[in-house]
Structures are given as C-alpha cells and as structure tokens.
Structure 1
Amino acid sequence: MTASGGLLCYCRAGFEPELAAELTERAAYAGQSGHARADRGTGYVVFSASDSGAISRSLPWRELIFARQKLELVAELRALDPRDRVTPILDALRGQGGFGTLLVEHPDSDAGKPLAGLARSFGNALRPALRKAGILSPRDDESAPRLHVCFIDGDHAFVGVSRPRDSSPWPLGIPRLRMHADAPSRSALKLDEALLVLLDADERSRLLQADMRAADLGAAPGGWTWVLTRHGLRVTAIDNGPLRPQLLESGRVEHLRADGFAWRPPQPLDWMVCDMVEQPSRVAERMATWMREGWCRRTIFNLKLPMKKRWQETRTCLDLFAEQSQRPMTIRARQLFHDREEITVYASA
C-alpha cells in the first residue's frame, strides 16, 4: 500500500494532459503546491499533494473543466492479491468511517472498460465487509461522504472519497442519458447533459419555463432546438440548412434561413444556444457580443478545441469571452461526456 495525498480526477480518455495542466495551474493560482501524474489514454489524473482536504477545497469540482469527477485520494494499492483484495482496503481505511455509499469503479478508457465485471462483483464482496467494520453506514446515505474504489488493473486500485456538495453525483462522473427516438440528432444529448451538469435543479426550474424565448444559432438539423421545445420554450432556429419537419409542426419553432454569426434578435431573449463548428475564438467573440449587447440573458455554447494546446486555448477563449462581455457574469464550463474535441460553456448575466 502507498499512502497518498491529493486528488484523483476522472476525465475523457485522451485529455489527461489538459486536465493535468488545468489542475497544476489552478493549484498554483490558489497558492497550493503539488504535481500531476498523467498518462494519455488512461482516463484519469493523479494530483499529488500533502493535504488532500486543502487541495480539494482549493479546486472546487464545479469550477473544473476537464474533470468529470474529483476524489480526495486516500491510498494507492498495488500488487493486490486476487484471492483477497478486501483486507488491504480495510487496512487503508483503518480509523476512518462515516461513509454513506460505496462506488467501485474503473476509468472510462479502453484499458478500464474490461474491468467493469470485476468492479461489480468486488463491490458486492466489499460492501458487507465495510459495514461489518463500521466504515460504511448500514444503509445507503446520499448525504454522507462517498467511498470510491477505482480499479486500474486487477492488482492495482485507488481508494478515494467524494463530498456530495463538491463532486459529481453520478458513477464515473457520467450521467447516463438515453437517445430519444424523436430527437433530430445525437447532438440533443449534449444540450440535455449541459442542462443537467451546468445548472442545478433549482436553476433548471427557474430558468427553463414554458413560453420563454430562445434562439438556436446553427440549429440544423434541430437537436438543440428540440431539447428547448421539450422544456416548453419558443425557439427561433437560425440556419441556412433544413430542420427536421416535425420540429415546425410543434408550433413553437420559427426557422429563419440566415447566418448564425450575423443574425441578431429584434428584442432581448431569455436564452441563446450555439453549437456551430467554427474557430473557438470567433465563437467566444460572438457570444460575448450577445451578452454585452443584452441580446440574451443566458447562453449555452460549445467551443471546438484544436488538437494541440487545448488547455491554453480553453483558458484564452474563456478569458476573451469574459473580457469582451464587459459585464459581471456567472460562467461555468465543462467537457461533457457527450462532447468530443470541445467544451460546453454556460453563462448568465
């Protein structure tokens, strides 16, 4: 067993260097020291630090962009004996307790996915042992800290802790969404996930109300427009391309064949969304114009990232957006599960 301090963060496989750079820069800005350990394609990053609690408080999960999940690291266990993996975990947790739930996981990577069966079966063996030792509550308690065991291989695992108010509520940090048969495109899942991850339940209730007005820039074939109409919004869909005919049958969609980068609304809107394929700096500038001019109250948009220096481009574009908006705003950004080479941004004036 290796006693550990710091964080274990899950991410999209291939974006480990971006997450490592983000954690390192944010920690330094917060006055915390540490170093990141990342291998491309693994789906996770370890950020080693002397005090797990202090570094976790300095890096709130909601502010992280490339982290799907954030855990305070308890131990790294190597050379686990397949005949008894339970005892080393109990030893690592000696003196600790009060955990409400147990999650046995694996990275969302090519190497991690074959471990799904082990994770399921081991969870069934570990859970009663933890309860007998008084480490895990007799019944699941979602309000208490969660205990995580993440298998990297059959003989290699991390033990970590997540705090309900400072972590993702979903296993692996991935909300499981199903593609609706009526959705015009799979891009609908991106906006569904954005609304679930970037807004809390109270915000969704207050900010997505029937007959609010929205614009969807670059709407065709209409996946994001469809999501908004399901929440009862009235949508002006801007695109020179065609929409799925059933969207227009709802009576809540007006399709204007126009350039999404040139069009402006005749009156302020509640929402503007945008998933156009364009240079991220150009998108950030146009979104800033919408906020600066008061054409919308809040927005969700995607920034398509380059193949290299993606953390630097992310930081540059978000700083550009904030500076050119010229008004106080709430800004949240995340690389979602349904994103690929992009991040999704929510902003509210």
Structure 2
Amino acid sequence: MTEVNTVLLYCRSGFEKECAAEITTRCAEVGIYGYPQFENQQGYVLFRCHESDGAITAMRKLRFRSLIFARQWIACAPCLENLSSSDRISPIAILVAELPPTSELMVEVADTTEGRELHGFARKFSSALAQALRREGLMQPRKQRADWRLHVFVVDGRTLWVGVAALGNSSSWPMGVLRLKFPQQAPSRSTLKLDEAWHYFIPQRRRDELLRGGMSAVDLGAAPGGWTWQLVNQHMFVTAVDNGPMNEDLMESGQVEHRREDAFTFVPSKPVDWMVCDVVDKPARVTELMLSWALNGWCRNAIFNLKLPMKQRFDEVERCLGYLRAELDAADIDYRLQARHLYHDREEITCWLSLTPEG
C-alpha cells in the first residue's frame, strides 16, 4: 500500500515558518508526530508524519478551521518526480487507485510568482486528468458525492504531489483562496479584509441573522472608512471612532456618526451588535481592548485584526489568543473565537469573537 504520510499545506508566501510551527504543534496535541519541511517564500509547507497513514489520521483528528496560517491542506502520497511530459497521467492513476474515493478534482499551484506562471498548465491538465480518471473508474461521476476531494499540486511540469482532502474538513475554494472584487466606491482596499472575514467566519445559514439591516456597529480605528463602508453596505448604523478624517461620501450616507476619539478609551453608550477593529498597535494591547469589550458586554460580535511582529509571529498569536480564551473562561462567558490569516491580510491575522448564544 502507498504511504499517505505527508500533509501539504498552502500558505501565504513568507509565512511558511508560522504554518510549519502551527501544524507541528496541533498534530502533537493529538498524538501525531513528525517534522516540517519548507523553503522561505515557496508558499507551502510539507509535514512529514512518522506513521505511514499519519496524514489521513491528522485530517480525521484535527479541524481544518483550527489552523490559522494554512489556506488548504492535503493528505499526500509520495511525490511524483521526473515525470515525462508525454505521460503524466499514468503515474497519477497508480496513486489515485490507492487513495480514498473522490468525485471532485482540483489541480493547483502555489500562490507565488513561479506558481502563477503554471496556472495555464494546471487548468488544461485538470480537464484532461479528470476525464482520464473517470474513464478508468478511478474517480466517481460528478453527481455522486464522495467524502474526499482529489488534489494535484503542481510544483513544476515534472514534479507533482497527489493527495486528498476531506470535503467537510478543508477549504472548498481553489487554492484555499476566496477571490473578491474590490468595490470601487469603498474608501480603501482594507474593505476586502472585513468582507472576506464575513464570508469565512459566518455560515451562510446565519448571514441573514447576523448581518441584518438596522443593526448597530462600532468601527474602532475607522478612518478613512474601509470597514465602515462594509457595515454601511449591510445597512447598519455605525459609530466610526478615529481622530483621522472619514471619507466624505461615506459620511453623506446618513448611517455614520464620526467620533474623534481614541479607540482605546472609547465607550459605547449602549451595547452594539457589531464591533470591528483594524487598529494598528501591538497585538497584546489590541487583545486587552477586545477583552474589555467582551467582559463589559459592549458588543455581541467582534471582528478584529492582530498586527503581527516581525519575529515569533506564531508564538505571539498563541499567547494572545490563549490569554483571551483563559480570561473569558475565567469570567464564565459563553463565546466562540476563531482566527484566520486571510488572503487579504498581510502582516496580521483576523479574528471573530462571538458572544451570542449560538456563537
């Protein structure tokens, strides 16, 4: 039997170290041991499990959404190297025959300059490969749902990784990336971070409940209004807190009150449905601010960014989120906390803290 002992994880280029530290830590917590391999700026990490089926076991024991820095993960068979350009499909078919049944296929590349140059090849190869595998009975018909999705990760034209990801425990987006179009009316490109956060964190079944018109919101560190624009676009009434100027068109909406105050000392007159925060400050200080809002019951939901230091970024994330969870647990507060290094994030992660009964 082919060993499936390598977890391949996609990540933002430059965050391989954080992705590697995280998967190593999370796997060890559930008794899966191994070691990571990566090169800086390559856009992916390999985690080599000591057990022969360790990658499949990891997918069964870990929740993909517990990972912050991984955009996607795949349980892989041994790497295919030195492939002939005249027949790449036959070696893949041999591996697929020993993997769990699948009915979907994604052929993907790293989100790097080198990877993007392979997009055309990946797109064409995906169609040819899917047809060949279905013809040989190695992939189920499209309409027949399987528990796993087949992935082929293209390193270059002669080097491929073949593996699977559990449909209910992986990203459904190609390359693990949600592509959003920048709205030209928005005051800044940071607007895409909040838009992506809502798509990622809030289940579709709860969007109408949690993003209703007429809700109240506070935007801490609002200027010039990228995140406020998203709140207004959801027909919410917003208190924008920032000493800097807000976008004039946004202010003319009639849904925004601009308070020229410090985000760290502002107190709402009454609890609000949403608080969002994109303040540029030390992550520990922002964490304390979020804890204050939660302990005082000033909001029902919060989305906030933690700007990461240049070094020990994973350790800082662990400290901040661990501290926040410990303090909320000590206060006996029901909550749900998720975090993600979003596609539109840079040197930061985005978090959702829900204090509503269903979380």
C-alpha displacement of 1:57: 2.1
Is 2:14 the counterpart of 1:11? no
Q: 1:43 to 1:322 in 2, by over 3 A?
A: same
C-alpha displacement of 1:114: 1.2
8 Å contact from structure 1 (residues 304, 341) kept in 2? yes
- The CA distance in 2 between the partners of 1:114 and 1:3, in whole Å, is 30
Within a 5 Å distance, the mapping from 1:1-40 to structure 2 comes to 3-40=3-40
- 1:307 equivalent among 306, 310, 314: 310
8 Å contact from structure 2 (residues 133, 139) kept in 1? yes
- 1:81 equivalent among 64, 84, 94: 84
8 Å contact from structure 1 (residues 289, 324) kept in 2? no
- The CA distance in 2 between the partners of 1:231 and 1:285, in whole Å, is 28
- 2:321 equivalent among 315, 318, 321: 318
- 2:172 equivalent among 144, 166, 169: 169
Q: State the 4+ residue runs in structure 1 displaced beyond 6 angstroms.
A: none
Instruction: Kindly provide the amino acid, as one letter, of the partner of residue 187 in structure 1.
Output: S
Question: What's the secondary structure of 2:114's corresponding residue?
Answer: coil
C-alpha displacement of 1:139: 2.7
8 Å contact from structure 2 (residues 4, 56) kept in 1? no
8 Å contact from structure 1 (residues 96, 135) kept in 2? no
- The CA distance in 2 between the partners of 1:205 and 1:166, in whole Å, is 24
8 Å contact from structure 2 (residues 217, 273) kept in 1? yes
Q: Which residue of 2 aligns with 1:126?
A: 129
Q: Which moved more, 1:138-147 or 1:337-346?
A: 138-147
Q: 1:97 to 1:279 in 2, by over 3 A?
A: closer
C-alpha displacement of 1:70: 1.6
Q: Which residue of 1 aligns with 2:278?
A: 275
Q: Which residue of 2 aligns with 1:187?
A: 190
- 1:265 equivalent among 265, 268, 291: 268
TM-score (norm 2): 0.93
* CA deviation map 1:234-280 (0-9, x unaligned): 11110111111111222211111111111010111111000011011
Give the aligned length: 349
The unaligned stretches of length 5 or more in structure 2 are none
- 1:346 equivalent among 322, 347, 352: 352
C-alpha displacement of 1:38: 1.7
* CA deviation map 1:170-201 (0-9, x unaligned): 00000010001111110000000011112211
- 2:253 equivalent among 242, 250, 255: 250
- The CA distance in 1 between the partners of 2:184 and 2:4, in whole Å, is 46
Is 2:295 the counterpart of 1:292? yes
The unaligned stretches of length 5 or more in structure 1 are none
Question: Aligned-residue CA RMSD in angstroms?
Answer: 1.7
* CA deviation map 1:120-166 (0-9, x unaligned): 12112211101101122333557652111000111111111122211
Q: Which moved more, 1:132-141 or 1:97-106?
A: 132-141
Question: What's the secondary structure of 2:155's corresponding residue?
Answer: strand
- 2:215 equivalent among 212, 217, 231: 212
